Amino acid sequence: MIRAESRYYVTPAVPAGSGPDFVNAALALETHWSAMEAITVLHGIEAKLGRRRTKRWAERIIDLDLLAVDAAIRPNVATVRQWMALPLEEQQEKAPGQLILPHPRMHERAFVLEPLADVAPDWVHPILRKSVIEMRDALSAEARAPIVPLD
Query: Domains plus CATH for the chain?
Result: 2-149 (3.30.70.560)
Amino acid (one-letter) located at 41: V
CA distance 65 to 147: 18
Q: What is the pTM of this model?
A: 0.89
pLDDT digits (tens, 9 = 90+) for 100-122: 999 999 999 999 999 999 999 99
pLDDT digits (tens, 9 = 90+) for 83-99: 999 887 787 777 788 99
Neighbours of 75 (CB within 10 A): 12
Helix (H, G, I), strand (E, B) or coil at 47: helix
